[in-house]
Structure 1
Amino acid sequence: MRVLTNTALVVLGLGVMLSSCSKKEQSQKTGMTYNDRSNGGYLRFKQTHPTPGPGLVPIEGGTFVLGGSADQDVMYEYNNVRRRVTVPSFYMDETEVSNQDWLDYLHWINITFPTDRELYYNALPDTLVWRRPLSYNEPYVDNYLRHPAFQDYPVVGVTWDQAQEYCQWRTDRTNENILRERGYMVTWKDKAGKNGQGAATATAGTGADQPFNTDMYLNGQIRGQGIDGKNMKPDLNPNAKATGTGKNGRAVRPIRMEDGVLKQGYRLPSEAEWEYAALALAGNTQFENINDGKVYPWNGLGVRSPKSKTRGLILANFKRGSGDNAGVGGGLNDKADITAPVRSYEPNDFGLYNMAGNVNEWVADTYRQTSFEEVEDFNPFRGNEFTNKRMADPEKGLYAKDKYGRPIKDPARSNKKLSYSEMIAQQQAQAAGGNQQAPQTDNANGAAQPGASAALPGTKDPLAGKAYTADYRGYNDTVNTSLYGTTTLVHDRSKVYKGGSWNDMAYWLNPSTRRYMDQDQSSAEVGFRCAMTMVGAPEIHPEGKPHLPVKKAKPYKAR
């Protein structure tokens, strides 16, 4: 009798579950059913909190004092004045980008553009950064990047511009791999079987015979025979035409941003994000109270481990004193002479390795001495260059692309949404004229700045009728670029790097310290790691914490 009762309860429970699952969601404002082909196919996507991309760990944001960990200013720069700010939650690389990671990048360029020697050459790190006139570093020039003994060591000799290119490449390769592994595009295996190789290019003749690009894919410009996978989403739009790819000949569609499948773009972290992540004060926080501050990414005022098993060991790879890069033979203090493998030493409380020492790291910000005083207090950043994607066919909404399959981006021409007629007229003018770009000028005084990236600061939009500056890297700054090299080395190409390196004294291990270098320069002491924006709720670990209840909307019933 008890068995029958239990069985009945199970069947009843399954029936309730199935009946509840069969009920489609409704619009809270119109009562129309979502995801129903018969009423027009209004879509409601499953609400998800995306997971980080490969190599990233989540960093729960919050408020902290930018520049607050600095205990001295030995350079008398006065460039890290304390300022309370809020950093939103984001993702960050667990480790620095390694030589193996960069060799993957070079290999992809070599197999995808085998005849483009310029592209490959421009992506090569400058291994001559190891060369010194009075030091025998020539073996590092030849071996550091490519020898397998150094494959897990951080890549160096990379400029800020090269780091940006790597971030874009990593975004596209990650998203392409997701789409192919899940069958939304032709799988790697099927693709290699058709063309005899695994090169990441689409089938010719489809209008998308260039390497995969996330923006192009989301704009519907990468699809067709030989590209579309077997697991594409059904297209519920009644106007959609069947392509033969879907089951039973039904219409299918590519993945959209709303599906939550694709990852946000990899990028360099902002200076505030980097400093916040390096400090990792979340490990010292309880009930919104920070129990103890930090001078370094670890607790305590020293650079040696206080733990019994590792007592006295150096906690980072840095230069202990003049002429002391490694310590004494038989008892090397930090176990490294130059750089060390990217997973050396203990991670900080966010799980990030080498946020002090090993190599300095590029961040996204343009350097200004007064940035900490002037930036916004939410998600502070200095270096905005606003752009729009150029249209090849404004009527069809197709992006113009360069020879590498990436959308061409032009300086933004307005700070507001234009009317449709204005937008079409502007895009047609750009498409017809190729958008010949004026040389960049300093937004404070109009002085020409040679060699700067494409931007049109201070241009007057003929349609919007008001002056609009697309380049805000030097916002509210009175530095005159005509004085560059005479009274200052700071201009809009000066980029911040932080963290200290194998060849730096302990002072530079403090997360608040900051230095700068031109964006096309490199060093044997500077590498980088990537970050990614987090979308959705900022709380990383809600479990075990009190929450106010949130009620679901009641379904609408017509009467």
Structure 2
Amino acid sequence: MLRIFLAFILLLSVSCSNKRDYKNSSRATGWKMIGRAGGSASNYYTSSKGQETGPGLVFIEGGTYTMGRVQDDPIADWNNTPSQQHVMSFYMDESEVTNLMYLEYLDWLKRVFPPDQENYKHILSSAVPDTLVWRNPLGFNETMVDNYLRHPAFSEYPVVGVSWLQAVNFSKWRTDRVNEKLLEEIDFTARDARYHVTGDQLFSTQTYLQAPTLTYGGKDSILSGGKRSEKLLKFKKDSTAVGAKYTNLYLQRTDGVFLPAYRLPTESEWEYAALGLSGIREYNSHLGRKKYPWNGQYTRSGKRKLRGDQLANFKQSKGDYGGIAGWSDDNADITAQVKSYPPNDFGIYDMAGNVAEWVADVYRPTIADDYNDFNYYRGNVYTKDSRNPDGSFNMVTPTTIIYDTLPTGKLMPRQLPGELVQIPVDENETYLRTNFDTSDNRNYIDGDLRSRRKMTQNSVDPRPMYNAPVHEVSIDSTGNVHRQYDKSTNRTTLINNKVRVYKGGSWRDREYWLDPAQRRYLPQYMATDYIGFRCAMSRVGSKSITDKKPRQQ
């Protein structure tokens, strides 16, 4: 009996010892995963958290839709061939970028890169919108030339006169300023230091993640000015000195604090967001075809309280930019204040009318949906960080800024100080790959050497498919700009790898252009008084932000 009792006790002790606590342990190895203070995966938090919504953004759940399906096509424009596409979930600005938002960007540039300093004298001027876009030889528009960008009466109006290149640079700046604030909020940098930095002490998200000691010009009083050391050591009391030395220094991507980059939306994302198809769906089918971002076939509201009100700001007919003054007026003759009209089903404002908007894509007449129907985008140029033979990174400094001379003669900084130098990917990244084999993919399967049209059975046309005019411009040692207009008669198109798509109707456009599927293009260095932009951001993690529920509940 005693033997049976001892055996039972032994079995019980063994079974109890096998009930291991796998909380905060790896499902791969069983080793402890105790956050930043040590363990087998000391740089990873054990609990995943979803992406936060960045300032100004609205979440858009991705899905499938028909891209390029226009309701009206009176000129039989063949660049709107319908194709079924799928976009991943993403975020988009609730409204267009306003004059006030853009002025914040300009004020920051002026403060950090004083134009009276030789190294910086072209940075601010490269970002200032072209206010002369308002001029018309037969129109009195000087009021807008002088006031539209800076007068407080227009502060909440969409910024215009901004080229595609300027919109891209604004998006990069916005990314770094948002992430810089997030870094400070968790006490990883000195409080309010971001308000007092200079051109050689800037924060770049990519630089911080890849080479954090180069951030803020390596100024330790900013990098070590926060309370992070005290906070990080509290993650686990048994952290070793070695573990603390290498894991508690800087925030990492695995911490999930930094947001993905603000950027221009792709053409497919913009069109999907503008359609707002969620309002006319039944399970996995769409109940109808939408002509506008709102339901219905008319531009005026049919709701009882708003009946007759215009739902967008557009040109109603010749000489009619707003309508007859009074209740039937659309309340705008040029642009209107953002959010002046009802949002679409996604909660996004002004996706039709007000201003047309830049998107990220390089323009081509057709969409190559036979090659890709997932997150479609034409314009990929793959780069990588430039590194020295010893593995150290090359960073742009105030004395190494490279300026590109645009066809207009203006100078545009390729990168700003504080950013890691970017170079094209090479054979180290492309060798024996099946998905890409070059850095520049803007003309992939359309206009490149492999796509040139055969003139005869045995010869190939020496001209590329797209050969837009090439205007030569140069700046001599004295600063004089020399421009040479391309007068060649051999040019057959206005399309090249530097023309970008813009979408949506504007205050200057007829109703025809309000259809989200319509598309137009303009060189990326040009600006107008009717094109603005808004930013987007990729969604990482789950496709949706809410749990799916049965339709009956």
Pick the TM interval, shorter chain. Answer: 0.7 to 0.9
Superposition pairs for residues 38-53 of structure 1, below 5 Å? 39=39, 42-45=42-45, 46-53=47-54
Using the aligned pairs only, state the percent identity. Answer: 43
For residues 418-454 of structure 1, what are the alpha-carbon distances to aligned partners after superposition, in whole Å with 9 as ceiling and x for unaligned? 7xxxxxxxxxxxxxxxxxxxxxxxxxxxxxxxxxxxx
CA distance in 1, matches of 2:332, 2:159: 16
**What RMSD over aligned residues (CA atoms) do the two structures have, in Å?**
2.6
| Whole-angstrom distance in 1 between the partners of 2:190 and 2:73 | 56
**Deviation larger for 155-164 or 483-492:** 483-492
Alignment of 1:474 with 2:474, yes or no, is no
- Name the SS of the counterpart of 2:343 in structure 1: coil
Aligned residue type for 1:72: D
2:187 and 2:198 map into 1 onto residues whose CA distance is 16
- Helix, strand or coil for the counterpart of 1:92? strand
Q: Deviations over 1:338-359 (max 9, x none)?
A: 0001111000000000000000
Q: Partner of 2:348 in structure 1?
A: 352
Asked if 1 retains the 8 angstrom alpha-carbon contact of 2:43 and 2:255, the reply is: no
What is the aligned partner in structure 1 of residue 373 from structure 2? Answer: 377
Find the counterpart in structure 1 of residue 128 from structure 2: 124
* Cα distance in 1 between the residues matched to 2:145 and 2:328: 24
CA deviations 1:447-505 (Å, max 9, x no partner) are xxxxxxxxxxxxxxxx99xx942111111113444464721001101100001100100
- Tell me: CA distance 1:483–1:351, structure 2 relative to 1, closer, same or farther (3 Å): closer
| Aligned pairs (5 A) from 1:512-523 | 512-523=517-528
Residue identity in the other structure for 2:196? A
Sort the Cα spacing of 1:487 and 1:417 in 2 relative to 1 into closer, same or farther, 3 A. closer
In 1, Cα distance between equivalents of 2:41 and 2:361: 44
Q: For the structure 1 residues 293 and 24, does the alpha-carbon distance in structure 2 shift closer, same or farther, using more than 3 Å as the test? A: same
For residue 145 of structure 1, what is the amino acid of its counterpart? L
Corresponding residue to 1:214 among 184, 199, 205: 205
Q: In the alignment, what sits opposite 2:71?
A: 71
* Aligned AA (1:318): F
**CA-CA distance at 1:519 after TM superposition:** 0.1
SS at match of 1:508: helix
Rounded to whole Å, the distance in 2 between the matches of 1:312 and 1:398 is 61
Distance 2:56 2:494 in 1: 35
- Could you state the TM-score of these two structures normalised by the residue count of structure 2? 0.78
Secondary structure, in 3 states, of the residue corresponding to 2:223? coil
Larger deviation, residues 350-359 vs 39-48? 39-48
From 228, 239, 243, the equivalent of 2:242 is: 239
Correspondent of 2:534 among 496, 506, 529 = 529
Cα deviation code 1:318-370 (max 9, x no counterpart): 00001000111234521001000111100000000000000000000000001
Letter in 1 for 2:28: K
Deviation at 1:177, TM superposition (A): 0.9
Closer, same or farther: CA 186–481 of 1 in aligned 2, 3 Å: same
**Shift of the alpha carbon at 1:411?**
1.1
Aligned partners of 1:79 and 1:372 also within 8 Å:
no
2:423 counterpart residue number: 410
Q: CA separation of 1:375/1:39 partners in 2, compared to 1, >3 Å: closer, same or farther?
A: closer
Give the Cα separation in 2 of the matches to 1:39 and 1:498.
51
* Aligned residue runs from structure 1 range 412-431, under 5 A: 412-414=425-427, 416=429
Give 1:75's aligned amino acid: I
- Structure-2 residue corresponding to 1:94: 94
Give the whole-Å Cα distance in 2 for the aligned partners of 1:29 and 1:241.
Answer: 24
Q: Distance between the aligned counterparts of 2:79 and 2:428, measured in 1?
A: 30
Asked if the contact 2:43/2:254 (under 8 Å) is kept, the reply is no
**1:43–1:528: structure 2 CA closer, same or farther, 3 Å change rule?**
same
Give the ranges of 4+ consecutive aligned residues of structure 1 lying more than 4 Å apart after TM superposition: 36-41, 235-238, 240-243, 372-375
Secondary structure of 1:27's aligned partner: coil
1:41 offset after TM fit, Å?
Answer: 5.8
Partner of 1:430: none
Deviation at 1:149, TM superposition (A): 0.3
**By how many angstroms is 1:39 displaced?**
4.9
Unaligned runs of at least 5 residues, structure 1: 1-19, 193-197, 203-208, 244-250, 419-462, 547-559
Cα distance in 2, alignment partners of residues 497 and 319 from structure 1:
18
Task: Determine whether 1:401 maps to 2:385.
Answer: no
Scaled by the length of structure 1, what TM-score is found?
0.77
State whether structure 2 residue 180 is matched by structure 1 residue 176.
yes
Task: Answer whether contact 2:313 2:335 (CA < 8 A) is retained.
Answer: yes
Aligned residue runs from structure 1 range 452-471, under 5 A:
468-471=437-440
Query: Which residue in 2 is equivalent to 1:433?
Result: none
Stretches of structure 2 lacking an aligned partner (at least 5 in a row): 1-18, 234-238, 399-416, 448-463, 470-487
Distance 1:124 1:332, change over 3 A: farther
Deviations 1:100-121 (A, max 9, x none): 0000000000111123231111
Aligned runs of 1:91-240 on 2, under 5 Å? 91-114=91-114, 115=117, 116-188=120-192, 191=193, 198-201=195-198, 209-219=200-210, 220=212, 221-222=214-215, 224-228=220-224, 229-231=226-228, 234=232, 239-240=242-243
SS in 2 for 1:371: coil
CA 1:471–1:41 in structure 2 vs 1: closer, same or farther (change >3 Å)?
A: closer
- State the match for 1:59 in structure 2: 60
Q: What code does the residue aligned with 1:55 have?
A: G
Q: Mean Cα displacement is larger for which, 345-354 or 370-379? A: 370-379
User: Which deviates more, 31-40 or 498-507?
Assistant: 31-40
Output aligned runs, 1:303-452, within 5 Å.
303-371=299-367, 373=369, 376-391=372-387, 393-403=388-398, 404-414=417-427, 416=429
